[in-house]
Structure 1
Amino acid sequence: MQISSHTPLTARDKLVFILLGVYFGIVISKSEAISWFRIQEMFRFQSFYMYGLLISAILTAAISLKILRSLNLKDISGREIVVEEKDKTVWKSYLFGGLCFGVGWALTGACPGPLYTLIGTGMTVMIVPLFFALVGAWTYGYLKPKLPH
């Protein structure tokens, strides 16, 4: 997917993104989505709590995408928001990426979004998984031309 050029963010836009990020951190902290114990319960099939949380997030995203596609909404700069369909012939890359993500999640007890929240709550040991998540993202960017897409 090619990212088109966009107008630079204003200070107001940056403040909105920061406030949304803080709100996201508070929500996932209060919902216990960042709890290592909750995540381990999920991977050991001992509790439905995290599955329910993930299913509700998937349903919310699906409904939101359906609304976005049907209303022809515009972004903050006035351009139409276009959500492209995924290529369903490259399922192996999704499988491999999902396995890498799942193994990392199971080993650390945290996925990338909550890492920042965990560090913010004082769990400085999560700096190590954050570092390796960034190394993984950089490695993917470096190897992207050679990977199936």
Structure 2
Amino acid sequence: MELIIGLLTGFFFGFLLQKGQVLRFERQVGFMLLRDMTIIKFMATAVVVGMVGIYACHAAGLISLSLKATNVGAIIIGGLIFGVGWAIAGFCPGTSVGALAEGRFHALWAILGMLVGAAAYAEIYPSLQSNILSWGNYGKITLPQVLGVSPWLVIAAWIIAVVAFFTWAEKKGL
């Protein structure tokens, strides 16, 4: 049943990617040039929905949180690799699969690159554990824990920030 729910969620997410126009090349380039905030708006909305959904399910006792350790070195290097790959290929993982589903077969190159990168990471992972993955290891923490506040306060602040950003971006025509 979990696989079916995952599959349906994936189809729904792909549908939203397509309807939100974030699969379009001009949106990707506009984002990279900071001239079109459609992708950021989509991602910020997904983060808000995810935050509310996860913490609501957690509060209701439906799920338990499973945190990964915060490793600053891994976050910085992984983010740089992800960003460079996105800029070169013009796709992130979600948009590459969505573009392929729309019939843009050049997205296969991006998907192949991601698979090769994942395989390379799996091969060098043991050597990274004692190096990069240990830089700035803060353990399993959350922002509410660091700030000593309720997760709902952080969620409310995030929602206010997202609404303010949306308002600013719309006024600027982004």
State TM-score, norm by structure 2.
Answer: 0.67
- Alignment map for 1:77-88 (pairs within 5 Å): 81-88=63-70
Counterpart in the other structure of 1:3: none
Deviation track 1:47-88 (CA, whole Å, cap 9, x = no partner) reads: 222222221122222222322332221xxxxxxx32233433
How far, CA to CA, are the matches of 2:14 and 2:106 in structure 1? Answer: 18
Q: How far apart are residue 135 of structure 1 and its match?
A: 0.8
Contiguous gaps of at least 5 residues in structure 1 = 1-11, 74-80
Q: Which residue of 2 aligns with 1:141?
A: 122
Which is helix-richer, 1 or 2? 2
What letter is aligned with 2:26? F
CA–CA distance in structure 2, aligned partners of residues 18 and 86 of structure 1: 24
Q: Match of 1:85, SS?
A: coil
Corresponding residue number in structure 2 for 1:37: 26
Higher relative contact order (CA 8 A, sep 6+): 2
Indicate how the Cα distance of structure 1 residues 32 and 99 shifts in structure 2: closer, same or farther if over 3 A, else same.
Answer: same
State yes or no: 1:62 paired with 2:15: no
Identical amino acids, percent of aligned pairs: 24
Q: Indicate the SS of the match to 2:69.
A: coil
**Matched residue of 1:124: which SS?**
coil
Deviations 1:20-47 (A, max 9, x none): 3222221111111111211111111112
- CA gap 1:58/1:137 in 2 versus in 1, 3 angstroms: same
Please report the RMSD computed on the Cα atoms of aligned residues, expressed in angstroms: 1.9
SS at match of 2:85: helix
